[in-house]
Amino acid sequence: MRLLLALPVGAVSGVAGTLVHQHWWGLALALGTGLVVLGWLPPGVARVAFAVGWCLVVTRGTLERPAGGFLIGSDAPGWSFLAGSFVLLVAALVTVGSRRGHAEDHGVRGPAT
C-alpha cells in the first residue's frame, strides 16, 4: 500500500520542487521537504518509490520542452536541485537494507539473555 502512495507523492513533490527551485526559498523548501519525507518513510520499497518518483519528474524537467526551453536550467539553482534530487535517490538506495528499530534487531549488545 505504501508503494502505491509513495510513487505518486514523490512525483507530485518533484513537480512542485521543479516549479519553485529557481527561488532560493523554493530550492531549500523542496529539498528540505524531500529529505524529511525520505526520513519519515520506513527503509525499503516505499522510500525508494518516493525517490524514484521524484527523480523521474526532475529528470524530465531537464529535457527540452516542445516549445523550447527547459524547466530546470543549467544554472546554479538548476544544478543544485538536480544534485539534491540524486542525493535523495542515493540515500533511499543506501538505506534499503537497514532495519533500524525492528524486533529482530538486537543492536550492539546482542539478544537479551
What is the number of other CB atoms lying within 10 angstroms of the CB of residue 24? Answer: 11
Average model confidence (pLDDT) for the chain?
A: 84
Residue 107's pLDDT band, with cuts at 50, 70 and 90, is very low
pTM comes to: 0.79
**79 has pLDDT over 70:** yes
- Provide CB contacts within 8 A for 76, sequence distance 6+: none
- Provide CB contacts within 8 A for 81, sequence distance 6+: 17, 18, 21, 27, 30, 31, 58, 72
Average pLDDT over residues 39-68: 89
pLDDT in tens, 13-40: 999 999 999 899 989 999 999 999 998 9
Average pLDDT over residues 34-63: 91
